[in-house]
Amino acid sequence: MFGYVRVYKPDLRMAEYEHYQGIYCSLCKQLGKSYGFFSQMTLSYDFAFLALFHMALSDECAGFKKGRCKFNPLKKRTCCCENEHIKFSADAASILNYFKIKDNISDSGFFKSIPARLLLPFASRARKKAAKCQPRLDNVVSSCIDKQRKLESECTASIDAAAEPTALILSVLAQNGAKDETERRIRERFGYCLGRWIYLIDAADDIENDIRQGSYNPFVYSYGLKNNEAPHTDIESLIMPVLNTCLGECISAYNLLSVNRFDGILRNVLEQGIPNIQKQVFNKVGKFE
């Protein structure tokens, strides 16, 4: 689920990349401060984007400063000053990472799941602490994950139904801090479409492994790809229109928002970073044979 929402560095201005890295580094520090060292190991670009998104829509900017990182103490780096949006992203990351680790354990054999099993106690403590700060978010995530498991156990062939729980989680994350009902609805739509895209690109990325291992994948059941029923099928031609529709609606919602800063970085992610991720995924997948 994590790591797909990132910048396309070649077309990002130097100052913008420094700000992006500053937010990423600050989120790492916040995870360590609030939830301990092991939480920093689960740091994801997706949650840096979440912090960036909220900071871009905020009326005030906390600013940036130079600081040292314990992972690279010899060189000072630009870091974002501590703020509520970084804290919220750290809380959200801790809640979602707990469920991601549990999902990895259930989807892997015993030996492959050992690293996740070792991390689970730390993730569980972090999730409980984060849930005290974000009880509504924790309830929503828990409910959506249960719904996701039910849909997958039923092997639903509906792509829309399979993507719905993740889309709902992202819609809740995106609308946090909205100033009025109109902005809340736009943010909600933005998050919903982005969450749907994240779930489906992850499914596309895993499709070959899922076919080989007999694991659930919405595209496998929707397009009848299981058990070599559709040899030599061009996966990209089937899935790319679905992904592009999600992304197009996400960008349309973004265009309705009043963005106060970081517009260049956000557009880079949406218009170049995400399409580049799609290319990488389909270059790997190729054709199902």
Q: What is the CATH number of the domain that holds 88?
A: 1.10.600.10
Question: How much of the chain is in helix, strand and coil states, percent to nearest 5?
Answer: 70, 5, 20
Q: What is the mean pLDDT of residues 84-106?
A: 93
Confidence band of 258 (pLDDT split at 50, 70, 90): very high
Place of tokens 């779930």: 199
Rounded to an integer, what distance in angstroms lies between the CA atom of residue 224 and that of residue 218? Answer: 10
Residue 210 lies in a domain: yes
Q: Is the pLDDT of residue 270 over 50?
A: yes
Q: What is the mean pLDDT of residues 246-256?
A: 98
> Which of 243, 195, 242 is closest to 53 using CA atoms?
195
* Residue predicted with more confidence, 245 or 79: 245
Residue 276 lies in a domain: yes
Residue 3 lies in a domain: no
Number of domains, the chain: 1
Residue 1 lies in a domain: no
Nearest 5 degrees, angle CA 193-CA 44-CA 222?
40
Q: What was the pLDDT predicted at 286?
A: 53
Q: Is the pLDDT of residue 12 over 50?
A: yes
Q: Which of 83-97, 99-113, 146-160, 187-201 has the weakest average pLDDT?
A: 99-113
Please provide the average confidence, as pLDDT, over all residues in the chain: 90
Strand positions, DSSP E, the chain? 64-69, 72-80, 233-234, 287-288
Share of the chain above pLDDT 90, in %: 69
Rounded to an integer, what distance in angstroms lies between the CA atom of residue 23 and that of residue 1? Answer: 21
**CA distances, 284 to each of 108, 152, 175, 247 (Å):** 21, 24, 34, 20
Residue 4 lies in a domain: no
Q: What was the pLDDT predicted at 222?
A: 92
Contact assessment for residue 149 and residue 142, using Cβ atoms and an 8 Å cutoff: no
Q: What is the mean pLDDT of residues 253-266?
A: 97
Confidence band of 227 (pLDDT split at 50, 70, 90): low
Q: Domain range holding 45?
A: 9-288
Rounded to an integer, what distance in angstroms lies between the CA atom of residue 77 and that of residue 172? Answer: 32
Q: Is the pLDDT of residue 6 over 50?
A: yes
Q: Is the pLDDT of residue 276 over 90?
A: yes
> Which of 282, 276, 269, 270 is closest to 19 using CA atoms?
269
